[in-house]
Amino acid sequence: IAGITQAPTSQILAAGRRMTLRCTQDMRHNAMYWYRQDLGLGLRLIHYSNTAGTTGKGEVPDGYSVSRANTDDFPLTLASAVPSQTSVYFCASSAPGTSEKLFFGSGTQLSVL
Amino acid sequence: DAKTTQPPSMDCAEGRAANLPCNHSTISGNEYVYWYRQIHSQGPQYIIHGLKNNETNEMASLIITEDRKSSTLILPHATLRDTAVYYCIVRPFNFGNEKLTFGTGTRLTIIP
């Protein structure tokens, strides 16, 4: 089934460890996004990429990095995880000609202890 | 960015129409109104969007007031599966989705 795949589904991580959340889409969408969702705060944009080879910072980029080597993949890396990065992370994509609507993955529940 | 105001929660009886309001009084002429919903523990799902005309698709109807300062999402025959958080968002036409602000939405509970 076409769409966005995120991995892992959930992860418990010790503080200070490095972690990469994976996101792959097979819809050939040019734009991809990473959000975090915390109780009471809604979805907040971490980083985005409007096309392969380019990235940009969202509302809450500190402590995270991304890369966009190709159209399909958009990994999110926590270089040294901290407990405040405990959250649910959603990857999304969009494309022109589809009203720019966002397609979301099923999320990664990350707990940093 | 224009911001939206939604009630934090609403209930609706199963089988009835669910009408979810959204206020966007500072909306600009080039901004669309989008609606998404998020069913528990899933990623958000696009529902519908519009500029100034009313819109309908297989999921819902969107009614936008003539002055565009508010809109209503209508789920015509709500089912238990429509229980979710509904987000009303305004999006500039000539900008990417990085300008979107989701907010906290309306938690809609469908009552059996």
| Single-letter amino acid, residue B93 | F
Distance from CA of A100 to the nearest CA of B (A): 7
Residue-level pLDDT at B34 = 94
Q: Do B96 and A103 touch (CB under 8 A)?
A: no
Residue scoring higher pLDDT (B99 or A79): A79
- The answer, yes or no, to whether residue A11 has pLDDT greater than 80, is yes
Q: What is the mean pLDDT of residues A22-42?
A: 92
Per DSSP, the three-state class of B97 is helix
DSSP state of A63: T
Q: How far is CA B29 from CA A16, B33, B71, B93, in A?
A: 47, 11, 15, 9
Res B97: pLDDT: 79
Q: How many residues does chain B have?
A: 112
Average pLDDT, integer, range A70-81: 97
Contact A48 B97 (CB under 8 A): yes
Output the tens digit of pLDDT for each of chain B's 112 residues.
458 999 999 999 999 999 999 999 999 888 899 999 999 889 999 999 999 989 999 999 999 999 999 999 999 999 999 999 999 999 887 677 777 888 889 999 999 9
Token pair for residue A47? 């980083």
Residues 59-88 of A with CB under 8 A from B: none
B105 touches chain A (CB under 8 A): yes
Tell me how close the Cα of B59 comes to any Cα of chain A, in angstroms.
15
What's the rounded mean pLDDT across residues A58-66?
96
pLDDT confidence bin for A54, thresholds 50/70/90: very high
Dig out the tokens for B67 from the structure.
């002055």
> Measured between alpha carbons, how far is B95 from B78 in angstroms, rounded to an integer?
33
Q: What is the pLDDT of residue A96?
A: 74
pLDDT digits (tens, 9 = 90+) for B1-29: 458 999 999 999 999 999 999 999 999 88
* Residues of B in Cβ contact (< 8 Å) with A103: 46
Query: E strands along chain B, which residues?
Result: 9-13, 18-23, 31-38, 45-50, 55-56, 61-64, 70-75, 84-92, 106-111
Q: How far apart are CA A71 and CA A57, in angstroms?
A: 18
